Amino acid sequence: MFSRFSLLLLLSLSVLSFALVLGGCAAAPPGQRGPLVQSITPDEYGERLCRHLDLEEYSACLSEVLEYFETHQSNTLADGRNSTSGPIALILERQVYLGQYAISPLAARFRVTRGQQWCEGSYNAMTGSADAIHRVVCSDGRRGQAELTSDLDGRNGIGELILDDGTRADLVFGYRALGIPDAIKK
């Protein structure tokens, strides 16, 4: 029979082994520039949400984002569910596009709009996508690729869109990062 100490040691080693396996799975696949999952700080969210602003507005924006993170940390909807979809923001050419994302274990998609302009992206491992890079198309005809990095909870994160003309844009997604609309909170 195992002693209590032996069982705890065995359980600890099992958890450590599982964490190492998961850590290896979180490494970037071939063709991807960054990790799929990493710890993301409030400063990183703020940098992406605010860097398109002028210097005077940047510090106020960053302060607001950091204050938000001190008071709002929910990933859970009012009925107690954890979400696999939510808000997403794209900051493209100093303009903020807002929309929704949806994820499942093997696929993801997003769509953002600003007035009549839009961009949407998706990947689907079941249809041959060998990586987690979103193929993106925008209403102005430009195409590109977006790479998203999830925070450790898997429902919030950051990313970058690179369009075929070399234009780069920032992405931020998730309820913790962007908030839960009042209509959903009720």
Q: What's 47's domain CATH number?
A: 2.40.160
Task: Report yes or no on 25 lying in a domain.
Answer: no
72-108 in b/e form (b: 16+ CB < 10 A) is eeebeeeeeeebebbbbbbbbeeeebebebebeeeeb
Task: Report yes or no on 28 lying in a domain.
Answer: no
Task: Report yes or no on 111 lying in a domain.
Answer: yes
> In the prediction, which pLDDT does 152 show?
83
Task: Report yes or no on 20 lying in a domain.
Answer: no
> In the prediction, which pLDDT does 4 show?
45
> In the prediction, which pLDDT does 103 show?
82
> In the prediction, which pLDDT does 155 show?
76
Show the low-confidence residues of the chain (pLDDT under 50).
Answer: 1-30, 182-186
pLDDT tens digit sequence for 16-42: 333 333 344 444 444 555 556 778 888
- pTM beyond 0.85, yes or no: no
Which residue range forms the structural domain that includes residue 97?
40-185
Task: Report yes or no on 128 lying in a domain.
Answer: yes
Residue type, 170: D
> In the prediction, which pLDDT does 20 show?
34
> In the prediction, which pLDDT does 90 show?
95
Task: Report yes or no on 17 lying in a domain.
Answer: no
Task: Report yes or no on 94 lying in a domain.
Answer: yes
Residue whose entry in the numeric block shows the structure tokens 């993106």: 136
Task: Report yes or no on 76 lying in a domain.
Answer: yes
Per DSSP (E only), the strands in the chain are 85-92, 95-104, 107-114, 117-124, 133-138, 143-150, 157-163, 168-173
Q: How many domains does the chain have?
A: 1
